[in-house]
C-alpha cells in the first residue's frame, strides 16, 4: 500500500515569505507527527496530532510555526515569515492507534535564502 | 525526562565483519526503544523496537539489539556487515505507544570492501 507522502519534496523560498508543507499519512493511521531534521539540531519533534487534535505542540520552535489536520487525514505545517534558521528537512510520520511504529515520509527539504 | 546518547558519531567496518553501534538511554519511565536507519536521500525506516517484552530484539536485515536495564544500554549489532548497511542509524526512545520519538544524534556507519 501507499506510504506517507509529503509535498513538495523541495522548497526554496526567500526570507520573510510564508511556506506550507503538506503531509498525507497512511490511510487509517490516526496519529500524525511532524519532525525537523537539521544540521545543527539533529532530529527534533515538532507536533503530534491524534485525529484532528494536537495534544502535544511542545516542539514548535516559535509562534511562526503552526499546523493543522483536517478530516483526520492530511496535515499542513505552515511557517510564517521564514528565517534562514528554518532551513531543514521537515519529516512527517504516521502510526496506527495503539501501535508504536511510526512510518516516515521522504521529507520536504526547505531552503530559506 | 528521556534522552538517548549515541556514543559514536562514526563507525567504520570492513564488509563481513561485525557491527556494533552503541546507545545509552535515560528515562524516568519504563522506556520503549527503537533503532531507525536512514539511507542517503531516503526516509527513516524502523529496524527494530523494544517495548518491554523480550530483552533481545531481532530486526530486519540481520540486525538485533539487547535491552540491558542495569547498564541502561540498547546497543545495535549485526554479525556480518554488508555494503548495503552503510547509512545513518538513530537510537530512539519514547514513553508510550503514541508518544513523540526522541532521537539520538545518529551514528554514520561506513562499510569498506
Does A64 score more than 60 pLDDT?
A: yes
Question: Do the Cβ atoms of B101 and B34 come closer than 8 Å?
Answer: yes
Contact B49 A43 (CB under 8 A): no
Question: Do the Cβ atoms of A59 and A77 come closer than 8 Å?
Answer: no
Say what the pLDDT of residue B45 is: 93
Which residue from B29, B37, B36, B48 is spatially nearest to B95, judged by alpha carbons?
Answer: B29
Residue numbers in B near A103 (CB within 8 A): 46
Does A107 score more than 60 pLDDT?
A: yes
Which residue from A30, A36, A44 is spatially nearest to A6, judged by alpha carbons?
Answer: A36
B97 touches chain A (CB under 8 A): yes
Does A65 score more than 60 pLDDT?
A: yes
Q: Using only C-alpha atoms, what is the Rg of chain A?
A: 13
Contact A31 B98 (CB under 8 A): yes
The three-state secondary structure class of B83 is helix
Strand partners, A72: none
B1 touches chain A (CB under 8 A): no
For A25, what's the count of Cα atoms within 13 Å in the CB-facing half-sphere? Answer: 28
Q: Which helix (H) or strand (E) covers residue A27, if one does?
A: none
Number of Cβ within 10 Å of residue A66's Cβ equals 14
Cell of A20: 506550507
Contact A43 B106 (CB under 8 A): yes
Cell of B44: 527513516
For A84-98, the pLDDT digits (tens) are 999 999 999 999 877
Per-residue burial over A75-95, b = 16 or more CB atoms within 10 Å of its CB, e = otherwise: bebebeebeeebbbbbbbbbb
How far, in Å, CA of A101 to CA of A82, rounded? 31
Across residues A23-42, what is the average pLDDT?
A: 92
**Among the partner residues A45, A97, A106, nearest to B101 by beta-carbon distance:** A45
Say what the pLDDT of residue B53 is: 76
The number of residues making up chain A comes to 113
Question: Do the Cβ atoms of B65 and B82 come closer than 8 Å?
Answer: no
Nearest CA to CA, how far is B43 from chain A (Å)?
5
Say what the pLDDT of residue A101 is: 86
Nearest CA to CA, how far is B34 from chain A (Å)?
9
Say what the pLDDT of residue B42 is: 82
Residue A1 confidence class, pLDDT cut points 50, 70, 90: low
Question: Do the Cβ atoms of B62 and B42 come closer than 8 Å?
Answer: no
Say what the pLDDT of residue B76 is: 98
Say what the pLDDT of residue B1 is: 79
Question: Do the Cβ atoms of A21 and A111 come closer than 8 Å?
Answer: no
Q: In order along chain B (113 residues), what is the average pLDDT of each group of 10 residues?
A: 92 98 90 92 90 88 95 97 97 84 95 97
Contact B97 A106 (CB under 8 A): no
Say what the pLDDT of residue B30 is: 80
Amino acid at each position: 500500500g501507499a506510504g506517507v507522502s509529503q509535498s513538495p519534496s523541495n522548497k526554496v523560498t526567500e526570507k520573510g515569505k510564508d511556506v506550507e508543507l503538506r503531509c498525507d499519512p497512511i490511510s487509517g493511521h490516526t496519529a500524525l507527527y511532524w519532525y525537523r531534521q537539521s544540521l545543527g539540531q539533529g532530529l527534533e519533534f515538532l507536533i503530534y496530532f491524534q485525529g484532528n487534535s494536537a495534544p502535544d505542540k511542545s516542539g514548535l520552535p516559535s509562534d511562526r510555526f503552526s499546523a493543522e489536520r483536517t478530516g483526520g487525514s492530511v496535515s499542513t505545517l505552515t511557517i510564517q515569515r521564514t528565517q534562514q534558521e528554518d532551513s531543514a528537512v521537515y519529516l512527517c510520520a504516521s502510526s496506527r492507534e495503539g501501535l508504536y511504529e511510526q512510518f516516515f515520509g521522504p521529507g520536504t527539504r526547505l531552503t530559506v535564502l | 525526562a528521556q534522552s538517548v546518547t549515541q556514543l559514536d558519531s562514526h563507525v567504520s567496518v570492513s564488509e563481513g565483519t561485525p557491527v556494533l553501534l552503541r546507545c545509552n538511554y535515560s528515562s524516568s519511565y519504563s522506556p520503549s526503544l527503537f533503532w531507525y536507519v536512514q539511507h542517503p536521500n531516503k526516509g527513516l525506516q524502523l529496524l527494530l523496537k523494544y517495548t518491554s517484552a523480550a530483552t533481545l530484539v531481532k530486526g530486519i536485515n540481520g540486525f538485533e539489539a539487547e535491552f540491558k536495564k542495569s547498564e541502561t544500554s540498547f546497543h545495535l549489532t549485526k554479525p556480518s556487515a554488508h555494503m548495503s548497511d552503510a547509512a545513518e542509524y538513530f537510537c530512539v526512545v519514547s514513553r508510550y505507544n503514541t508518544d513523540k520519538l526522541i532521537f539520538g544524534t545518529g551514528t554514520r556507519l561506513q562499510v569498506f570492501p
